[in-house]
Structure 1
Amino acid sequence: MLALNKLSKTYAGRPVLSELSWLFRAGEFVAIMGESGVGKSTLLNLVAGLDQPDMAPASGPPIVLDGVAMSALDDDAATRLRRQKMGFVFQAFHVLPHLTLLQNVALPLLLNGLPQQRALDMLEAVGLQGRGGDYPHQLSGGQLQRVAIARALVHQPALVLADEPTGNLDPETAHGILLLLRNEIKSSGACTIMVTHSHAAAAMADRTLVLTSSGLQETTSVNRFAQ
């Protein structure tokens, strides 16, 4: 589903990621942990095509998503791929304040020219049925994150990228949000990569990887949700 092949990124002569290789499978929920500054958010930005990796190695393109080499795409093609194949869940929600909840969730459908009925279905799935006409300022932080999850999944993306999705939430709300996210991605079959500092959040994933200067390494702990 998503293949990293000797992915590297250097800023101002300083290597942030060095020859990172890993294969992420469809339907898999993976948490990535690591110290601050090790390159976790950089990794998500590279996968999303929001940043460009160092020159591709002779062994092949550094990022391949659903059979497509990201390095072969121009800006317009990368935008289309992002719009069609990816969903994003951010720590700061990024729900648009001037749009209703229904309009926020329906935005990916509108951009992809898809029927918008599924936006109502997703609001119901995240427990916000009947709230479609409300605006973001009327919601709590946990409810806003539910809207963000509904928006990320409404167009049934192949890949969901989550960057500290519960960093602004209290532990009880965070647990509910992560359980909701896990259930929804398992239902849709999306591959999901979640960057987090929280061990409690990582425990909700199928497996946890730790990013270090030496690359990605899988932890030996097994979470209670793993199949």
Structure 2
Amino acid sequence: MLVLRNLSKTYTPGHPVLANLNWEFKAGEFVAIMGESGVGKSTLLNLIAGLDQPDTTSTPPVMLDGVAMTALDDDAATRLRRQKMGFIFQAFHVLPHLTLHQNVALPLLLNGMSRERANEMLDAVGLRGRADDYPHQLSGGQLQRVAIARALVHRPGLVLADEPTGNLDPETAHSILMLLRNEIKASGACTIMVTHSHAAAEMADLTLILTKSGLQVAKSVNPIAQEKQ
């Protein structure tokens, strides 16, 4: 599904943010990535998505379904992201001038797909009957539900989530994470979630710790994920 090989990123010479990361993410796997602030977690997501370029290497550092991200020009990378990726952000990035239906339907529109599934996804995230409302009418938890619906509506193979519950209270965060886990398991999407929250990481199938030495499997078990399997 997604393969990282010797993935490195340096902004300041002699001070790499990421150095020689290697990992293989499987289809349908929900992975949480934790680590200290500044270790490069968000940078890693940007590199996976092709929003930032890794250091030059002879080995393709990011392969998605057999496609080398670094081999794509800007237009091709944009098309791949549009078709195969879904994004969930801490700040939601819901467009304020669009209704909830229009926000969720945007990936469908960009991919030339029927917009009927937008209503299905709004139902799935518990926002039935709110299709014509605008983002300013919703709470933070409801906005994150819209963001999840939008990320999954076009059935992407890869979902990237950057601190998706960072702005939510614990009860709402738990509800959002249960929803996210159930939806991605139903769709079979590989999901990579960057988080500082141990409670959030427990929802994943696997927790990795990002350090200056690379990605390492966390020693702690993910009990909630095990119960849901």
TM-score (norm. length: structure 1): 0.98
CA distance, structure 1, for counterparts of residue 117 and residue 199 of structure 2:
31
CA distance, structure 2, for counterparts of residue 187 and residue 125 of structure 1:
11
The DSSP-based 3-state class of the residue aligned with 2:191 is: strand
AA in 2 matched with 1:162: A
CA distance, structure 2, for counterparts of residue 207 and residue 134 of structure 1:
36
Corresponding position: 1:131 with 2:130: yes
CA distance, structure 2, for counterparts of residue 27 and residue 188 of structure 1:
8
Q: CA deviation at 1:135?
A: 0.1
Q: CA deviation at 1:222?
A: 1.9
Counterparts of 1:1-227 in structure 2 under 5 Å?
A: 1-13=1-13, 14-56=15-57, 58=58, 60-224=59-223, 225-226=225-226, 227=229
Q: Which string of whole-angstrom CA distances, capped at 9 and with x for unpartnered residues, describes residues 100-131 of structure 1? A: 00000000000000001000000000000110
TM-score (norm. length: structure 2): 0.97
Q: CA deviation at 1:220?
A: 2.3
AA in 2 matched with 1:8: S
Q: Which string of whole-angstrom CA distances, capped at 9 and with x for unpartnered residues, describes residues 5-26 of structure 1? A: 0000000212000000000000
Q: Which string of whole-angstrom CA distances, capped at 9 and with x for unpartnered residues, describes residues 160-214 of structure 1? A: 0000000000000000000000000000000000000000000000010000000
Q: CA deviation at 1:219?
A: 1.0
Q: CA deviation at 1:221?
A: 2.0
Q: CA deviation at 1:64?
A: 0.1
CA distance, structure 1, for counterparts of residue 172 and residue 66 of structure 2:
37
The DSSP-based 3-state class of the residue aligned with 1:8 is: strand
Q: CA deviation at 1:66?
A: 1.0
The DSSP-based 3-state class of the residue aligned with 1:181 is: helix
AA in 2 matched with 1:68: V
Could you list the runs of 4 or more consecutive aligned residues of structure 1 that deviate by over 2 angstroms after TM superposition?
Answer: none
Q: CA deviation at 1:223?
A: 1.5
AA in 2 matched with 1:32: I
Query: For structure 1, which segment, 11-20 or 98-107, has the greater mean C-alpha deviation from structure 2 after superposition?
Result: 11-20
AA in 2 matched with 1:117: E
The DSSP-based 3-state class of the residue aligned with 1:122 is: helix
- Aligned-pair identity (%): 80
CA distance, structure 2, for counterparts of residue 66 and residue 184 of structure 1:
21
Structure 2: gaps of 5 or more residues? none
Structure 1: gaps of 5 or more residues? none
**May I ask how many residue pairs the two structures share in their alignment?**
225
AA in 1 matched with 2:2: L
Q: Which string of whole-angstrom CA distances, capped at 9 and with x for unpartnered residues, describes residues 143-174 of structure 1? A: 00000000000000000000000000000000
AA in 2 matched with 1:214: S
CA distance, structure 1, for counterparts of residue 12 and residue 132 of structure 2:
47
